[in-house]
A and B are shown apart, each in its own frame.
Chain A
Amino acid sequence: MRLEGGASEASPRSGSPGRIEKPVGQLIREKEIIAIGGGKGGVGKSFLASNLGILIAKSNKKAVLIDADLGGANLHTCLGIPAPDVTLSDFLTNPNTRIEDVILRTSLDNLMLISGAQDFLGVANPKYSQKFRLLRAIQSLNVDYVVLDLGAGTSANTLDFFLLADKGVLVVLPEPTSIENAYRFIKSALYRKLKLVTADSRARTVIDTAMDKKNDLGIGTPIELVEHIAKIDSRVGAALEEALTQFRPRIVVNQVRSLGDVRIGYAMQSACQKFFGIKVDFVGYLEHDEQVWQSIRRRQPIALNGDNSKSGRSLRSISHNILNDLQLKPE
């Protein structure tokens, strides 16, 4: 994948190649924000994000890939683009840098990239004001889809971006550490969401207390938490209950080696319903595939080939399911 134009050229503000100009008078498109997280590093988030972006672009929709994994940015590498000079960090640290300055075109007309490379320590934790500025800038982009690669962990920023997205996708490997991290992510995101939903200080205190498993309120699960709060204040309880209903992450199981591994997707759905009281959509899985490893090594995304490989088809199916709000059915 080639990087074309882009802000690495020193250029004045107006009209140079590589700038994304907003056509005068055209309405900003309705865009969908998809966030890819997972809690654990190395599960395949960047792999999925990059290929998802490519597939969207190839379907005649405009997409921008944003590497929000500050401190661990890999998207450009997945795409085979050399680390660009101007990145998200520049936007976040310099109030004069516009979003248009950091958007990079790619060899696919419909795909743009905002890289996180060249990030440095100070930017790995952007302040709230910077985050807000970024979000507003994203809203102003003339694209159909925004694909956010969130990176590993459960930092406040990661959780916030996940919650702000229209669709959140978690990538898991069929092994206990990855699954455990995914649940940790879900729990953190959920509690953060619950706190966002209510300004009631008593409720927020309870939520904070409940985050600790060994709390002295005896609250073990989000369901119990909501019940507890509903007894204090039924309106807040109802708002929290509604938030539980709206929280609907998607999961992708990566590096599947057997049908038993596939079943983990369904099992996690079941476990999440019982423990968190939330619905999780199992949107697909990727079989463990040498070709994937090769594609990453060579920095040639699978989705670019358009071939009929196993992983190519898996990616297309996952993409289809995410975009169309579908999930696998156990039958």
Chain B
Amino acid sequence: MKSLKFQDHYEVLGVPRNASREEIRSAFEISRHTFQENSLATYSLFSDAENQKILELIAKAYETLYNPETRRQYDAQLEALAGGDPAPREQRPAPQAEAAARPVAEARPARAAAAVTPAMEIRAAVPKPPAAVKPPAVTQKPENHAAVEEFLRSVSVFDGATLKKLRQIHGISLDEMAERTKIRRAYLEYLEDERFQFLPAAVYIKGFVSIVASTLGLPAQRVADEYMSRVPAKGS
């Protein structure tokens, strides 16, 4: 295990070289939660400033690996560095096999927006970060479907205003969006208003837009790329 500055993107995210996109996304979400401000899990290990630095590294790793094209290029770089040896450098082939028995056995559909109270069955969802992996695309009500389609036809660019309009057509409030995506409501507002100076670093903005796009049933990558072309390069 090398120190952070020497780790490659896979090691930073804690995924094997052959990780699926889902695994990569999942690892990113866990890390995002782990190293957030005031995190319970890193309290006594890392300061908030260190958390922030780690998060930036992780976000960068995620951005490169989640996009198949940039991932391909990156893999090629790694192979070249290793002298053509593409063998995955896993520390140990730890079996990540699904636990055959879990505290929760029911197959109820995971309701991403469900608030959890102490009395509530934790069984209602599987033991994982709720909606953190991939927010389910919105179930479109029949009467909205046509409206969504029509609107999409008129869209020329996926800017903040477009995302806002779409969200409204879908009938999702900002609070609900925040609940589903686990993105702070304030950030969602800034995204829609394109007040970039109040948003964190570009890697985060892109991540947020990806998730919001997914939630709205849009092609995440394309939307994120278009949106990011509107974000000015920041000083930091």
Contacts and interface: CB of A to CB of B under 8 A. Distances in A.
Interface of A: 174-176, 179-180, 183-184, 221, 223-224, 226-227, 241, 244-245, 248, 256-260, 262-264, 266-271, 273-275, 277-279, 281, 283-288, 310, 313-314, 316-318, 320-321, 324-331
A266 B129 contact: yes
B31 interface: yes
B41 A179 contact: yes
A249 to B, nearest CB: 13
A320 B99 contact: yes
Contact of B98 (A281, A313, A329): A329
Interface of B: 1-4, 14, 22, 26, 29-31, 33-35, 39-46, 54, 91-92, 94-103, 105, 116, 118, 122-123, 125-130, 133
Contacts of B2: 223, 227
7 closest residue pairs by CB, A with B: A267-B41, A277-B1, A267-B34, A270-B34, A314-B103, A180-B44, A317-B101
Contact of B118 (A175, A257, A310, A326): A257
A310 B40 CA distance: 26
Between B33, B102, B123, B129, the greatest number of chain A beta carbons within 10 A of the residue's beta carbon is seen for: B102
The secondary-structure label for the interface of chain A is helix
B44 A183 contact: yes
Given A268-B41, A318-B103, 19 more contacts: A176-B44, A179-B43, A179-B44, A227-B2, A248-B94, A260-B116, A264-B40, A264-B41, A267-B39, A267-B40, A267-B41, A271-B35, A277-B1, A279-B94, A317-B102, A326-B100, A327-B96, A328-B102, A328-B128
A281 B129 CA distance: 17
Given A259-B122, A329-B99, A270 B40 contact: no
The secondary-structure label for the interface of chain B is loop
Contacts of B46: 271, 274-275
A296 to B, nearest CB: 19
Contacts of A269: 30
Nearest to B98: A329
Nearest to B118: A257
Contact of A259 (B1, B95, B99, B130): B130
16 contacts: A183-B44, A223-B2, A258-B118, A259-B129, A262-B122, A263-B129, A275-B42, A279-B92, A285-B127, A288-B118, A313-B101, A318-B103, A325-B95, A326-B99, A329-B128, A330-B30
